[in-house]
Chain A
Amino acid sequence: MKEKMDVLQGTLALMILKTLDVLGPLHGYGIARRIEQISGDLLSVNQGTLYPVLLKLEQEGSIASEWGASENNRRARFYRLTRDGRKQLHAETRDWKQTSAIIARFFAVKSEDFS
């Protein structure tokens, strides 16, 4: 249970970073919408889980936040990527690609390949 949560949090963090990288500063709802659009199921419920992850990233210095005006002209917290965050995103993207390439190769293997 706990482990699954960590995995989810890890992926969520990466998605947040990537979203902010592509779209620039966004408020929480905006990030949630964007992730929902792209990932489908993953964030269609429990959107609130986003906020602890945002705080974690902020405390780690990967993102920063400030108050701004939302679409309907109300106060909203806007998050943006920091320089550290961009570095982290690059590093993790590379790791992620490596990992998925390895996993993909494993799945591609058939038993006759060993004979």
Chain B
Amino acid sequence: MRIAKRFLARLRNLLTRHQDDQRLKEEIAEHVTLQTSENLRAGLAPAEARRQALLKFGAVESITEDYRSERRFLFFDTLLQDARFALRVLAKSPGFTAVAILTLALGIGANTAIFSMAFSFLVRPLSIPNSDRVVAVSAVSPANFLDLKNQSKSFSALAAYRQEDVDLTGGRLPERLYGSRVSAGFFAVTNTNPQLGRTFLPEEDEPGRGRVAVLSYGLWKRRFSGDASVLGRTMDLNGRRCTIVGVMPGDFDFPAPTDLWMPLAMDTQDRADRKNASLNVVGLLKPHISLVRARAEIFAIGTRLSAAYPQPDKDLTIRVIPIVDSVEGSITRGYSILLLVAVGIVLLIACSNIANLQLARSVARQQEFAVRAALGASRWAIARLLLVENVLMAVLGGVASLGVASWSMSSIGSSMPADIARLIPGWYEIRLDGRALVYTLAIALVSGLLAGLMPALAVSRSAPGESLKEGGRTGRGPSRQRFRSALVVAQIVVALVLIVAASLIVSGFRRLAQVQERYSPKQLLIMAVNLPTSRYVTPADRVRFYDQALGRLRSIPGVTHAETFYTIPLSNNGTHWTNFAIEGRVPPSSQHQYPGAILQQISPGYLQTLSIPLVEGRAFVEADRGSSRPVAIVSQNLAGSYWPGANPIGRHIRVGGPDSSQPWLTVVGFTGNVLYDWTDQVPELAIYIPYTQSPPTETLLAVRSSGPAADFVTPARGAIAAIDPDLPVFGVMPLSQAIYESIVGLSIVGDMMAALGLLALVIALVGVHGVMAYSVAERTHEFGLRMALGAQRRDVLWLVSRRGASLTAIAIAIGFPLAIALARLLQGLIFGTSPMDLGLFVAIAALTIAVIAASCYIPARRALKVDPIVALRYE
């Protein structure tokens, strides 16, 4: 209490800057006068009486100091003083200040931008308020969910959901939407109120009810142009009429992506299902219930269920994890961490650069410091001056960095297609918020301290007497010079490593882009359909649809081929994966060891349309039908692994695991390998079967045309609508766009890494330039002397560039092994390229040498221009 009062009084004094040394002076004077008259009364002579009084009072100066420090925060006073002085120093050398602040602004800005992105990917990938109280329970069967819900006491709400695409029909254009079926209480868990209307009532979760829907903000805007009278209107979802009861706010997208929510409304048969773990479960913890406690409770219930229903639930373990941890995104995670590290390194380079420039300047300011020290400034006072200078610079840089950050974030944001962005958990949570500001300020302070530390240490270590004595010719200590060279080498090394990593990613992207050219993707239009099992009941119904669709598509003028297949090359999701067995081979004992391959149901012309070479055998033909012998084509790598050295044609293969009921298929040919998933280092095995013998419910239809694919969107949609007007056709786009969208993340990361690498190189260049310029300036005298004694320009040039050359050589010798090591480490993230790309390394080394040579050029020219007479008079 008293301490607080004292603090407040001091604060008041600080703010009012109330100067009352006057009062103390007056009190002292009065004190001494009174004591003097006392002494006079005691019989001392007047002069002696005053002298004794002063002696008794003590050292006025030190008492005044104590008094002042009691009155104010001394620390603040000196800090303000230092800051004012630092501002003057910075203003005196605007060039240096501008370079330093710009360097810091770039370094800190890049950090803020990437921190904001990484934060939303890693920590806040969900648009749920209070998401730290929300947990995900592992997927369970409906019956188990109901038991959990009834028995658990840890949750204020527990809800289940299932993501399931729905067809929106009626109205203009049938559309396929991301749907989520949610149980009662779902919106209580997510703690979000609708923007319009209401969410679901508990009774709407009952069997047979649930013909209601809540729209996402995006769907509402897109399909209903944000019309508020949409409530109460109906729409046909999967052929059932549903009433719209609410619209969610724009930032709510859980489970992402969702266009509309519908009640789960399981029927009695569903509710009794204890076998299929088809429900995702989320819960909101009650206040004061910890995750650990909820976990223990759920585990106990799981054990009970497992004992009660040993048949399906023998190995039932129900896990509870924070909802944030349940969000997938391992590639995003890897890239986020990679970028965070890279950007941290860039900031380190920037800091070391400023430290380097400051060191150079501190040598020039040696005399100033020496005078300060001689006048009684402590080492700490001088070091503090430099630290304050740097922190001030960093804070100015930090302020400027916010501009850099917001610019780079908006340019990254605009380069991501909206369809992809909504699939990346956390993308829409990226923003420059208070947290980012705090982070920026914190790293600004840290970088200021980092950059100021070395110069401050160096200055506080030097002996003032020496510098004064030598009259300015100081600071040539070889150890300081070596330290600065080491800093420069470290900068180049780190910049090299970053650039190598960046170029590997960029060249990986380039190579993927090259690979896709093989498919002439701009002239291939793809679209997806999903045949509802209610209307396409038997395989024959589906075959009939595909036959008709392909026929109609082929008859569009300008179309050369129309084909169907399941997966596009170079995608990284949506491949159809299957186990398989080879006839005559002993099958592995467990399912886990069963071989797997990508399964493609294709039409006969698929291979030719995508220019996939048929190595041997025959393609599918129209005659391969349900009634004829079931056939398959396999990829070359599958044939090579399972029938090594033998001809695969005529052998038998079966799709599915150990309990597969599929027929044995006769291999009729084998094809070249295709990279279906670009995140693979090598192409996966693939099995092709004709759609006519195994028609999928969902598939892609593709149209190869002579002109740009985009021109065929309307006629192709029309052809499908002519067969089935209620069938949504979605994902209609040129193959080039589909491939681009699947690798756009890599492209953005590549661009960001390249930008960081360039930034690092530029900053390192400034550093090299600073060191070279300084060493030339320092040796002006020596150069003049040499030239006066007959040295040629060539010799001087050599003297200057030798330093730069040796620094570069050392940096490259250290940098490349490190870069290769890093590349190996990143192998899982860098696709389509090998970490040992010699040509690339040579190119980067050449670039580095060129850049360093350029940064040596200006100082070298200055050295050549030295007039021997002037140089000798110098100093």
Partners in one complex: yes
Who on chain B is nearest to A33 by CB?
A: B38
B303-319, CB < 8 A from A: none
CA distance A75 to B59 in the complex (A): 23
Interface 0/1 of B35-63, CB less than 8 Å to A: 10110000000000000000111111001
Decide if A72 touches B28 in the complex (CB within 8 Å): no
CB atoms of A46 and B58 under 8 A apart: yes
Which listed residue (A47, A55, A61, A88) contacts B57, Cβ 8 A?
A47
Interface assignment of B2: CB less than 8 Å from any CB of chain A? yes
A44 vs B71: C-alpha distance in the bound complex, in angstroms? 25
- Report B176 CB to chain A, min CB distance, Å: 74
Q: Does B24 contact A (CB under 8 A)?
A: yes
**B31 an interface residue at 8 Å Cβ cutoff?**
yes
| Interface contact B2-A62, CB-CB below 8 Å | yes
Q: Are B56 and A76 in contact (CB under 8 A)?
A: no
Tell me whether A32 and B63 are in contact (CB under 8 A): no
Interface residue from A45, A52, A72, A76 paired with B37 (Cβ < 8 Å): A72
B341 lies within 8 A of chain A by Cβ: no
Tell me the residues in window 42-65 of chain A with beta carbons closer than 8 Å to chain B beta carbons.
44-49, 51-52, 55-56, 59-62
Q: Point out the residues of chain A lying under 8 angstroms from B31, CB to CB.
A: 28-29, 32, 47-48
Instruction: Output the least CB separation between B45 and chain A (Å).
Output: 20
Taking residues whose C-beta sits less than 8 angstroms from the other chain, chain B's interface range is 20 to 34
Across-interface contacts of A71 in B (CB, < 8 A): 34
**CB-defined contacts of B71 to chain A, threshold 8 Å:** 55, 59
Residues of chain B within 8 A (CB-CB) of A34 are none
Residues of the B chain whose Cβ atoms lie less than 8 Å from the Cβ of A49: 58, 63, 66
Q: How far is the CA of A48 from the CA of B23 in the complex (A)?
A: 14
Say whether, besides A28-B27, A45-B58, A51-B27, A74 and B33 are in contact (CB < 8 Å).
Answer: yes
Contact partners of A88 in chain B: CB under 8 A = 2
A93 within 8 A of B: no
- Nearest neighbor of B53 in chain A, beta-carbon distance: A47
Within 8 A of A (CB), among B333-370: none
Q: Is the CB of A48 within 8 A of B58?
A: yes
List residues of chain B with CB within 8 A of the CB of A60.
Answer: 2-3, 5-6, 9
* Contact of B30 with A44 in the complex, beta carbons under 8 Å: no
Q: A48 touching B60 by the CB < 8 A rule?
A: yes
Within 8 A of A (CB), among B196-210: none
Measured between beta carbons, the chain A residues less than 8 angstroms from B798 are none
Expressed in whole angstroms, the Cα–Cα distance for A52 and B66 within the complex equals 6
What residues of chain A lie closer than 8 Å to B66, measured between beta carbons? 49, 52
| Neighbour of A70 across the interface among B24, B30, B56, B67, CB < 8 A | B30
Complexed CA–CA distance, A55 and B71 (Å):
7
Is B26's beta carbon under 8 Å from chain A?
A: yes
Does A18 sit within 8 A of B, measured CB to CB?
A: no
Q: Is the CB of B6 within 8 A of A59?
A: yes
Max count, chain B CB within 10 A of own CB: residue among A49, A55, A74? A55
Q: A15: shortest Cβ distance to chain B, in Å?
A: 17
Q: What B residues does A74 contact at CB under 8 A?
A: 30, 33
**Known interface pairs A48-B59, A72-B37; A59-B30 also in contact (CB < 8 Å):** no
A27 lies within 8 A of chain B by Cβ: yes
Q: Which residue in chain A gives the minimum CB-CB distance to B55?
A: A45
Within 8 A of B (CB), among A67-115: 70-72, 74-77, 84, 88
Q: Indicate whether A51 sits within 8 Å of B30 (C-beta atoms), given known contacts A45-B58, A59-B5.
A: no
Which of A45, A61, A76 contacts B30, CB < 8 Å?
Answer: A76
> Which chain A residues lie closer than 8 Å to B3 at the CB level?
60
- A29 near B70 with CB under 8 A, answer no
| Cβ-defined contact, A47 with B30, below 8 A | no
Q: How far is the CA of A44 from the CA of B34 in the complex (A)?
A: 15
Selected from B6, B10, B27, B67, the residue in CB contact (under 8 A) with A77 is B27
A48 near B63: Cβ-Cβ < 8 Å: yes
Q: Once the chains are docked, how many angstroms separate the CA of A115 from the CA of B816?
A: 79
Whole-angstrom distance between the Cβ of B54 and the nearest chain A Cβ:
10
Question: Which of A47, A71, A74 has the most chain B CB atoms inside 10 A of its CB?
Answer: A47
B9 with A70: CB separation less than 8 A: no
Could you tell me the distance between the alpha carbons of A111 and B543 in the complex, rounded to whole angstroms? 109
Do the beta carbons of B10 and A47 come within 8 Å of each other?
A: no
A75 with B63, Cβ < 8 A, contacts A55-B70, A59-B10, A60-B2 known: no
What are the residues of chain B within 8 A of A70 when measuring CB–CB? Answer: 30, 34
Residues of chain B from 1 to 25 with CB closer than 8 A to chain A in the complex? 2-3, 5-6, 9-10, 23-24
Question: Given the known A-B contacts A51-B63, A51-B67, are A72 and B55 also in contact in the complex, defined by CB atoms under 8 Å?
Answer: no
CA distance A88 to B6 in the complex (A): 15
Name the B residues within 8 Å of A72 (CB-CB). Answer: 33-34, 37
Known: A27-B30, A29-B31, A32-B31. A61 touches B5 (CB 8 A): yes
Task: Specify the chain A residue showing the minimal Cβ separation from B71.
Answer: A55
Contacts A72-B34, A76-B27: A44 and B56 contacting too (C-beta < 8 A)? yes
Min C-beta distance of A49 to chain B, whole Å: 6
Q: Are A59 and B70 in contact (CB under 8 A)?
A: yes
Contacts of B30 in A (CB 8 A): 27-29, 70, 74-77
Please measure, in the bound complex, the distance between the C-alpha atom of A49 and the C-alpha atom of B23, giving whole angstroms.
15
Of B3, B6, B60, chain A has the most CB atoms within 10 Å of the CB of B6
Which partner residue on chain A sits nearest B9 by CB separation?
A59
A71: min CB distance to chain B, Å: 7
Q: How far is the CA of A29 from the CA of B37 in the complex (A)?
A: 12
**What residues on A are CB-neighbors of B59 within 8 Å?**
46, 48
Nearest CB of B to A12, in Å: 12
Q: What is the CA–CA distance of A53 and B717 in the complex, to the nearest angstrom?
A: 91
CB neighbours (8 Å) of A33 from chain B are 38
**A88: shortest Cβ distance to chain B, in Å?**
7
The docked-state distance in angstroms from the alpha carbon of A44 to that of B57 is 9
Interface pair B34/A29, CB less than 8 Å apart: yes
How far, in whole Å, are A60 and B60 apart by their CA atoms in the complex? 24
> A84 — which chain B residues lie within 8 A by C-beta?
2
- Asked if B9 contacts A51 (CB within 8 A), the reply is no
Most buried by A among B9, B27, B28: B27
The minimal Cβ–Cβ distance linking A100 to chain B, given in whole angstroms, is 23
Residue of B nearest to A84 (CB): B2
What chain B residues lie within 8 Å of A45 (beta carbons)? 55-56, 58
Q: A106 to nearest B CB, angstroms?
A: 29
Residue A47 contacts which of B2, B56, B67, B70 (CB distance < 8 angstroms)?
B56
Query: Does the CB pair A52–B27 fall under 8 Å?
Result: no
Quick one: closest B residue to A46, CB to CB?
Answer: B58
Determine how close the nearest CB of chain A comes to the CB of B504; give it in whole angstroms: 59
Contacts of A28 in B (CB 8 A): 27, 30-31
Which B-chain residue is minimally distant from A36 (CB atoms)?
B56
Q: State in angstroms the CA–CA spacing of A102 and B35 once bound together.
A: 39
* B6→A56 contact, CB < 8 A: yes
- List B contacts of A29 (CB < 8 A): 30-31, 34-35
Measured CB to CB, the closest approach of chain B to A61, in angstroms, equals 5
Q: Which residues of B contact A62 (CB under 8 A)?
A: 2
Q: Which residues on A sit within 8 Å (CB–CB) of B6?
A: 56, 59-60
28 sampled A-B residue pairs with Cβ under 8 A: A29-B34, A29-B35, A47-B35, A47-B56, A48-B57, A48-B60, A49-B58, A49-B63, A49-B66, A51-B24, A51-B27, A51-B63, A51-B67, A52-B63, A55-B71, A59-B5, A59-B6, A59-B9, A59-B10, A59-B70, A60-B2, A60-B6, A72-B34, A74-B33, A75-B30, A76-B30, A77-B30, A88-B2
B interface residue numbers (CB < 8 A to A): 2-3, 5-6, 9-10, 23-24, 26-28, 30-31, 33-35, 37-38, 55-60, 63, 66-67, 70-71
In the complex, given contacts A29-B35, A45-B55, A77-B27, what are 13 additional A-B residue pairs having Cβ atoms less than 8 angstroms apart?
Answer: A29-B31, A29-B34, A46-B57, A48-B60, A51-B67, A59-B5, A59-B10, A59-B70, A59-B71, A60-B5, A60-B9, A72-B33, A77-B26
The 9 A-B residue pairs whose C-beta atoms are closest, nearest first, are: A46-B58, A59-B9, A48-B63, A52-B66, A48-B58, A29-B34, A60-B2, A29-B31, A48-B57
